[in-house]
Amino acid sequence: MHVLAQDKVADTRFGCAPFTRITLLPDALWQDSLTEGLLNAIRPLLASPVSENVLIDVTEINDTVLALLLRFLFNQAYTLNDLQLKKTDATATRIRHITAFCQPEQYEKREKMFRQQQAIANGMVAARRLADTPSDCCTPQFVVNEAQTLCASFPALHCEVLDEQQIVEQGLGLLHAVGKGATCPPRLLAIHYNGISDGPVRCYIGKGITFDTGGLWLKEGAGMYTMKYDMCGAANVLGLLLTVAELKLPVRIMGVLALAENAIGPNAMQPGSVARACNGMTVEINNTDAEGRLVLADAIAWTSQRQPQARYIIDMATLTGAVVKALGYELSGLMTQDDALRQALTEAGRQSGDEVWSLPLDARLKKQTESAIADLCNTPTNNAAISASAAWLLHHFCPSDIPWAHLDISGTALWRENGRSVASGRPIPLLVEHLLEDIA
């Protein structure tokens, strides 16, 4: 084997038996928690693995980098080919077993991390598979069915579903407005986890637009191509609950998935129409392509009514392209007025390697949501501060005595490589780390 310079990867396909391939990676990569350098070096090696077994030395590695590495390896359990929509080579090698080497005194800590990261990856895989499913199949009811099937494996999970009639009856006029133009009607799915019999309920809400045409504010074709992924927030809430159930965490959680297809048609919501949320507030819909904040607003209000003593409410959504312009593809946007929740989520992001960056959220954004005809409008007419103004609208739907945070995951919900996008499963690692710290 030819060993390259100190900062280069050394790789051979002619390893000594029983090894098929041996790769040496620079020491600096094992300590780099910022740029995912280790994953970037390993990713091409696993694109076409030569063995089902991976052996890694985790003796000298940063804890955050190890968490990233383990999640990456465990996520190899799923690829797009598993959707069985493409003819593939069934005999192709897949990673099926991971062995790690460490010092005896490291074993207990490493074993615990392996167990947690595998559970996190399992939740991510469930979310990724659901999000990757084409939208002609992945309708609101399909998401409900998949969630019920997956949750049935865990006695601590149970599902509650509102159909389109119940959505109207319970006053969720914003969710109804978004979904009424589609032939596939909207759903509200609540997943309850009771790992203990009593205690505060932690609430997570996900935007579940199973396909987003933009409605009558129609997107151009290029902007519509990846819109099956506009339900990643909802998929990630499901994945989070599955992870929590697998880890059997001693906590109570309610996850709410606001599911609708934003379609065009005779019954589609019209620009300038006004809809009423379940908390009584009215919203002027001056842009039908700003539908995500509408379904989230109703879901936040509904959740706060069901759980008035909630420990916190965290929503997540592929909400705005503006957050990508601000933060790129590596950071999720965090918007909250609760300093303790902001600090806790930020630190959990650092520890997990699934980071967030806080954007401002205060009364200076008030004019961005003012309407002459309704309590609020859903987009600012000056096209400024799009991400923060969306969060400012949402904060009206959570009572001030419940800590609330909004995560805009438009940049992080997808993994982009070679001009292609697939679901990433983020921010499930962030939320699990935050939850573990919160109940510690």
Q: CA–CA separation, 43 vs 52, rounded Å?
A: 15
Q: CA–CA separation, 314 vs 350, rounded Å?
A: 18
Which residues, 6 or more positions from 366, have their beta carbon under 8 angstroms from its beta carbon? 392
Q: CA–CA separation, 366 vs 363, rounded Å?
A: 5
Amino acid at 433: E
Q: CA–CA separation, 235 vs 243, rounded Å?
A: 12
Helix (H, G, I), strand (E, B) or coil at 220: coil
What backbone phi and psi angles, to 5 degrees, belong to 152? -65, -20
Q: CA–CA separation, 399 vs 396, rounded Å?
A: 7
Q: How many residues does the chain have?
A: 440
Q: CA–CA separation, 117 vs 73, rounded Å?
A: 10
Q: CA–CA separation, 253 vs 206, rounded Å?
A: 14
Concerning whether 219 is annotated as a catalytic residue, the answer is yes
Q: CA–CA separation, 27 vs 3, rounded Å?
A: 14
211 neighbors 261 (Cβ within 8 angstroms): yes
Active-site annotation holder among 293, 311, 342, 426: 293
Residues marked as catalytic: 219, 293
